[in-house]
Chain A
Amino acid sequence: EIVLTQSPGTLSLSPGERATLSCRASESVSINYLAWYQQKPGQAPRLLVYGASSRATGIPDRFIGGGSGTDFTLTISRLEPEDFAVYYCQQHSRSIGAFGQGTRLEIK
Chain B
Amino acid sequence: EVQLVESGGGLVQPGGSLRLSCVAAGFTFSNHWMHWVRQAPGKGLVWVSRMNSDGSIISYAESVKGRFSISRDNAKNTLYLQMKSLTAEDTAVYYCAMSSVTSGTTNDYWGPGTLVTVSS
Contacts and interface: CB of A to CB of B under 8 A. Distances in A.
Interface of A: 1, 32-33, 35, 37, 39, 44-47, 50, 56, 86, 88, 90, 92, 95-102
Q: Which DSSP category, helix, strand, loop or mixed, fits chain B's interface?
A: loop
Contacts of A56: 106, 108
Interface string B77-102: 00000000000000000010000010
Contacts of B47: 90, 96-99
A102 B45 contact: yes
B112 A44 contact: yes
B5 to A, nearest CB: 11
Given A1-B62, A44-B112, A96-B61, A35 B44 contact: no
Interface size class of B (residues with CB under 8 A): 20 to 34
A45 B110 contact: yes
